Amino acid sequence: MQKVMVVAGTRPKMIKLAPVVRELEKYPAEFKVVVVITAQHRQMLDQAMKLVKISPSYDLNIMEENQDLPDTAARMMEKFDSVVKKEESDLILVQRDTITSLICALTGSHHKIRVGHIEVGLRTYDKYHPFPEKINRHLISVITGLHFAPTERARQNLPPEGIPEENIFVTGNTVIDALFMTLDKLKKDKLKLQSLNSQFSFLSSNSKFILATAHRRKNFGNPLQNICLALKEIIKYNDNLEIIYPVHLNPNIQEPVKRILKDNQRIHLTNPLDYESFVWLMEKSYSF
């Protein structure tokens, strides 16, 4: 039996890793799954854990008020190291490009444990775009023994960097698996659907709507202002269209979005949404 440690720190990563955990759990004679969360983002990660109904074996709970990357990394490495020593896993799985993925992959390599990296091969060829995710991706690729690429194009980016072809596997993107799992769950839950229809009853039944989101660090400043101005233009020239925009709580997002968009009756600014609500809106939004 192989012991596989699956590590997540944020809501998106837990959602993307849930299909992997579920698939491994189908083969109890072959795999023992150990789920570790770092709680890099505490509240939103807890929301995801409740949604996917996965209970962690270990909760490192590293989040502190006003944390910065060096402090976060140091606490995470110390706590995760003790888990690695205790569990002696055969494989550690990390997802994409967070500080959780980098630190846990690095810690695993210190113990000569094989690391699998999910959603590899995304490249911008600018180490500060996005920052620090771009740097994290490259560093994890150096550490990793198994590379799981979402697309053929992503796979093609890896051999020129010295990664052996036999260690790269094109798997598709697990976020698509998570999306369809959630949609299937929603379609079977009539009470939840009624609740969602009520929650978003402010959307006109006679209008189409666009679901918008923009919160990445690379959009801070002028890029985000331009996105907001573009949304205003779309509404200006389309009378039968509405926009719903869940606004991230970061002040760098809140200020320009509310300043530019708050007074338009057909642009609905909401608080951040849980994953099920967001998926429901994606399903109902206008397709061009």
Q: Active-site residues: which are they? A: 97, 119, 133, 215, 217, 248
Which residue's entry shows tokens 């989040």?
63
Contact 235, 227 (CB under 8 A): no
Residue 240 burial by Cβ neighbours in a 10 Å radius (0-12, 13-18, 19+): exposed
Considering only CA atoms, which of 78, 95, 107, 82 is closest in space to residue 6?
95
Alpha helices in 200-250 (DSSP H): 222-236
Q: What is the dihedral of CA 184, 39, 96, 92, to 10 degrees?
A: -100
**Residue count of the chain:** 288
Indicate the residue type of 244.
Answer: I
Beta bridge partners of 36: 7, 58
Both tokens of residue 13? 């990563």
DSSP three-state, residue 173? coil
Reported as type and span, the H/E element at residue 32 is strand 31-37
Indicate the residue type of 14.
Answer: M
Indicate the residue type of 23.
Answer: E
Q: What are the strands of the beta sheet with 241-246, ordered from one edge? A: 208-211, 241-246, 267-270
